[in-house]
Structure 1
Amino acid sequence: MRRRQQPPLPKRHGLDPARLRLPEDGDWATIRDHLVERLPRVDPARIDALLREGGIVDLDGPIAPDAAYVPGGAVWFHRDLPDETKVPFQIGIVHRDENILVIDKPHFLSTIPRGQHILQTALVRLRRELELPDLVPAHRLDRVTAGLILFIVNPAVRGAYQTMFHKRTVHKEYEAIARFDPELELPRTVISRIIKERQVLRAFEEPGEPNAETHIELLEQRDGLGRYRLRPKTGRTHQLRLHMNSLGIPILGDDFYPDLTDKPVEDFTRPLQLLAAALEFTDPISRQPRRFETARTLQAWHDPEGWAAGPAPGGDQL
Structure 2
Amino acid sequence: MKFTITLPENQASSTIRELLEKDWLVPRKVRHFLRMRKNVWLNGEIAMFHQEVSAGDTLTLILEEEDYSYQTVLPGDSQFVQPIFEDEHLIIVNKPAGMKTHPNQPNETNTLLNHLTAYLSPKQQRPYVVHRLDKETSGAILFAKNPLVLPILGRLLEQKKIGRRYQAVVQGTLTKDITITKKIGRDRHDRRKRVVDERNGQPAITHVHIHSAKNNQTELYCVLDTGRTHQIRVHLSSIGHPIIGDPLYQNKKANRLMLHAVELHMTHPFTQETIIAHAAPGLW
TM-score computed with the length of structure 1 as normaliser: 0.61
> What pairs up with 1:76-155 in 2 under 5 angstroms?
90-115=80-105, 118-131=108-121, 133-155=125-147
Shift of 1:95: 1.2
**Which structure has the larger Rg?**
1
Shift of 1:138: 1.4
CA distance in 2, matches of 1:223, 1:243: 22
Q: Secondary structure at the match of 1:235?
A: coil
Instruction: Find the counterpart in structure 1 of residue 48 from structure 2.
Output: none
State the one-letter code of the partner of 1:91: V
Shift of 1:216: 0.5
1:292 aligned residue (273, 277, 284): 277
Instruction: Find the counterpart in structure 2 of residue 202 from structure 1.
Output: 193
RMSD: 2.9
Q: Larger relative CO (CA 8 A, sep 6+): 1 or 2?
A: 2
TM-aligned CA distance change 1:6 to 1:97, over 3 Å? closer
CA distance in 1, matches of 2:245, 2:177: 23
1:239 aligned residue (231, 235, 254): 231
TM-aligned CA distance change 1:164 to 1:117, over 3 Å? farther
Measured against aligned partners, the alpha-carbon deviations of 1:146-166 in whole angstroms (never above 9, x if no partner) come to 000111113222221121112
Q: Is the 8 A contact 2:125 2:146 kept in 1?
A: no
CA distance in 2, matches of 1:99, 1:191: 35
Instruction: Find the counterpart in structure 2 of residue 270 from structure 1.
Output: 255
Gaps spanning 5+ residues in structure 2: where? Answer: 1-28, 31-65
Q: Is the 8 A contact 1:147 1:296 kept in 2?
A: no
Shift of 1:283: 1.7
TM-aligned CA distance change 1:253 to 1:286, over 3 Å? same
State the one-letter code of the partner of 1:189: T
Instruction: Find the counterpart in structure 2 of residue 191 from structure 1.
Output: 181
Measured against aligned partners, the alpha-carbon deviations of 1:184-242 in whole angstroms (never above 9, x if no partner) come to 45201000111136981101111237610000011012233221100111000100001
Instruction: Find the counterpart in structure 1 of residue 169 from structure 2.
Output: 177
State the one-letter code of the partner of 2:82: G
Structure with the largest fraction of strand: 2
Q: Is the 8 A contact 2:73 2:117 kept in 1?
A: no
Q: Which has the larger displacement, 231-240 or 201-210?
A: 201-210
Is 1:158 the counterpart of 2:150? The answer is yes
Q: Is the 8 A contact 1:110 1:142 kept in 2?
A: yes
Q: Secondary structure at the match of 2:192?
A: coil
TM-aligned CA distance change 1:273 to 1:5, over 3 Å? closer
Give identity over the alignment, percent: 25
State the one-letter code of the partner of 1:288: E
Instruction: Find the counterpart in structure 2 of residue 219 from structure 1.
Output: 211
Q: Secondary structure at the match of 1:155?
A: coil
Instruction: Find the counterpart in structure 2 of residue 32 from structure 1.
Output: none
Q: Secondary structure at the match of 1:130?
A: helix
TM-aligned CA distance change 1:222 to 1:6, over 3 Å? closer
Q: Is the 8 A contact 2:91 2:142 kept in 1?
A: yes
Shift of 1:276: 0.3
State the one-letter code of the partner of 1:139: H
CA distance in 1, matches of 2:208, 2:69: 45
Measured against aligned partners, the alpha-carbon deviations of 1:124-157 in whole angstroms (never above 9, x if no partner) come to 1111133155211211101110000111113222
Shift of 1:11: 4.3
CA distance in 1, matches of 2:241, 2:260: 16
Q: Which runs of 4+ in 1 moved over 6 A?
A: none
Q: Is the 8 A contact 1:104 1:296 kept in 2?
A: no
Gaps spanning 5+ residues in structure 1: where? Answer: 15-85, 264-268, 303-318
Measured against aligned partners, the alpha-carbon deviations of 1:13-72 in whole angstroms (never above 9, x if no partner) come to 24xxxxxxxxxxxxxxxxxxxxxxxxxxxxxxxxxxxxxxxxxxxxxxxxxxxxxxxxxx
Q: Which has the larger displacement, 277-286 or 237-246?
A: 277-286
